[in-house]
Structure 1
Amino acid sequence: MSGADGEGAAREREPGERGVGGRSSSPILCVTTNPAIDITYAMEELRPGTSHRVETGLARAGGKGVNVARVLHQHHEPAVVIAPIGGPVRVLFVHDLERSGIPHRLVEVSAPTRRTTAIVTPAGTTNLNERGQAIGADDWQRLLEIVRAEAPASRIIVSSGSLPPETPFGFCASVVDVAVAAGRPCIIDVGGEQLRAAMAAGATAVKPNRHELLEAMGGTDPLDAARRLAAAGTGTVFASLDIEGMLAVLPDGRAWHAQLDRVLDGNPTGAGDAAVAALALTIAEGETLEAQLARAAAWSSAAVLAPQAGSIVDPAELEPRIRITPIG
């Protein structure tokens, strides 16, 4: 299925068709609107204003949707990356996906794909994330057409990550519309007006972090903001609260809180993407809401212990340590 702008389309298959080992061979579509080459440096100390001699950084294809696909691939779950790509890093991006064995459908664009840099020290992680550059209206249409073509053979559609400048208003809602038309669930991980529009369009779930949630809904209380957002749609709001765990809120206001029994030291970059991967899998498999929340919190924690975004350590030991509490 690898290729650019429509090359290598997926074989038509029946929804839920099982593959080797009993797993579904239908892929999870991972739409990444603002992909990147992620570079990670690990060092003992970051001293601003000075030069550092460092070991060679880890560099690989990134962006939130790519990280979601990578985590799923690590767990032998089929996933397909759908993204616009262009400029000098295109070769590196494609090479890494092919080396990793992750299928992809890419739209070639003239705008150069961005780079992100994570500097990991014992004191914390410093991220330098380029905003990305605008792509053309035709590019957005081609991206959506690939999603539409792949949707009927998928299990679930995920659209996650930052959006480049001049993204059409309602693009994420259009992804939801495609999923609804194909009879597939859909998860949106984005912020701002796109988040509100996707929820109103009927997203199965959304997964903002605290900042994105409060930016979209206003106020200072994430639970109140999540309840207001959930009431605007028919799906579930899963809100990441960093070291304070994760919320799950239904449209009727019922809510649950999940948290690991202790705070972990590590690299939090990619923790939200691991949570989205867990949600995609559990929603596609029809798990209960509490199971979805527990898996998401466990995989998010497992990502903190991994060296780079898009990877997680074995979450089996962590999931029993997640405490889920109904709220109010």
Structure 2
Amino acid sequence: MILTITLNPSVDINYQISGFQIAGANRCHSTMKTAGGKGLNVTRVLHCLNLRVKATGFLGGTNGLFIKRELDREGISHSFIPIKGDTRNCISILHDLHQTEVMEEGPLTTEEEQITFLNEMEEHFKDASVIVASGSLPLGLSVTFYRELINMAHRFQKPFLLDTSGVALRCSLSALPTMIKPNISEFEQLIGKSCNSEEDLIKELKEFPVEIPYIMVTLGDQGAIIKHGEHLYRIIVPKINTINPVGSGDATVAGFAAGLVDGYQGEELFLHSILMGLLNTLEKKTGMVNPSLISHYEKEIKINKLD
């Protein structure tokens, strides 16, 4: 079983607007509401792949009820800790080949709710084969909260994949998660400098001061660069007609988790990971993939070892 952790889930509202007008009236011809948050996007992709997955985190208010109903409707197992606060909304506006996001901060999580969650995780970690934690921290949680969860995973000798950013990511590195997946801007924030070229990025990855087993820096439609131990890999993806890019990073993480469960290693693991991110862009709904397309598109992704 793959356990996904979404500490700050949301109801994701997707608007598609042609000719978006700033400071003007905009009519939306397409609206979609989804049980969202990065970890739930991961969960849906794993469910599409027919893998056993359980979603956990915090949920509260009417948005929390909406998310539970959506997961039940999709047949996805979940075990969320109820909180007094209201789960947030996040809005994505897709307009003229661009994406603009408005993300609420999220509810306040009390100390009692956090203790209940950690106690529950002790039981869930025992049953999990891989643990995936994604997204931001809600109010009230310490920036070291992910570090606590990583240390718990070490106690149970379970791989822990972490997809977060900013201070939450920086404070988690010393606990040594199995994998981190910043995009290029998040990686630049992490190292405190810009990478003005691919050569700069490669240099920074080679000199990265913490020995995380896997560091994947995603580059949008330019693919990714992955560091595994002393080796670096450049992943090149084909040009495709993207339908919805939202959640592709989450699908990439899901592909990595799925690959670990299926026993993939090295380039086969990286291919499966990036492929899921690519397939997500071909779907209208966020955090979805069509497994029937795997055999076609896996032939289109190129992996070059850089050393």
Q: TM-score, normalised by structure 1?
A: 0.86
> What is the deviation of 1:69?
0.5
How many Å separate the matches in 2 of 1:278 and 1:218?
28
Match of 2:238 in 1: 261
Q: How does 1:42-191 map to 2 (within 5 A)?
A: 42-55=16-29, 57-191=31-165
1:310 aligns with 2:287: yes
> What is the deviation of 1:288?
1.5
* Equivalent of 1:224 in 186, 194, 203: 203
> What is the deviation of 1:122?
4.2
Match of 2:173 in 1: 199
Match of 1:236 in 2: 214
Match of 1:4 in 2: none
How many Å separate the matches in 2 of 1:63 and 1:297?
20
Gaps of 5+ in 2: 196-200
Q: What secondary structure sits across from 2:61 in the alignment?
A: coil
How many Å separate the matches in 1 of 2:131 and 2:154?
10
Cα deviations across residues 152-196 of structure 1 (Å, max 9, x unaligned)?
A: 111100001122234313211111111111121110111123323
| Equivalent residue letter for 1:267 | N
Q: What secondary structure sits across from 1:72 in the alignment?
A: helix
> What is the deviation of 1:120?
2.2
Cα deviations across residues 279-317 of structure 1 (Å, max 9, x unaligned)?
A: 001122221121121112111111112112111243332
Q: Note the aligned Cα RMSD (angstroms).
A: 1.8
**Counterpart contact for 2:42–2:253, Cα < 8 Å:** yes
| Equivalent residue letter for 1:235 | P
| Equivalent residue letter for 1:233 | E
How many Å separate the matches in 1 of 2:271 and 2:165?
23
Residues 141/223 of structure 1: CA separation in 2 closer, same or farther (3 Å cut): farther
Match of 2:225 in 1: 247
How many Å separate the matches in 1 of 2:205 and 2:138?
25
How many Å separate the matches in 1 of 2:173 and 2:266?
18
How many Å separate the matches in 2 of 1:187 and 1:28?
11
Match of 1:281 in 2: 258
Cα deviations across residues 175-227 of structure 1 (Å, max 9, x unaligned)?
A: 11111111211101111233234332121111111122111112222333433
Q: Across the two proteins, how many residue pairs are aligned to each other?
A: 300
Query: 49-58 or 38-47: which moved more?
Result: 49-58
Residues 223/87 of structure 1: CA separation in 2 closer, same or farther (3 Å cut): farther
Match of 1:6 in 2: none
**Counterpart contact for 1:226–1:239, Cα < 8 Å:** no
Match of 1:38 in 2: 12
Q: What secondary structure sits across from 1:127 in the alignment?
A: strand
How many Å separate the matches in 2 of 1:248 and 1:220?
18
How many Å separate the matches in 2 of 1:279 and 1:129?
26
**Counterpart contact for 2:137–2:168, Cα < 8 Å:** no
> What is the deviation of 1:263?
5.2
**Counterpart contact for 2:16–2:30, Cα < 8 Å:** no
Q: What secondary structure sits across from 1:146 in the alignment?
A: helix
Q: What secondary structure sits across from 2:304 in the alignment?
A: strand
Cα deviations across residues 19-56 of structure 1 (Å, max 9, x unaligned)?
A: xxxxxxxx200000110001112333322233333346
> What is the deviation of 1:123?
2.4
Q: What secondary structure sits across from 1:140 in the alignment?
A: helix
Match of 2:198 in 1: none
How many Å separate the matches in 2 of 1:67 and 1:120?
18
How many Å separate the matches in 2 of 1:147 and 1:80?
12
Q: TM-score, normalised by structure 2?
A: 0.91
Match of 1:295 in 2: 272
Q: What secondary structure sits across from 1:41 in the alignment?
A: strand
Identical pairs, percent: 24
**Counterpart contact for 1:40–1:308, Cα < 8 Å:** no
| Equivalent residue letter for 2:219 | L
Match of 1:18 in 2: none
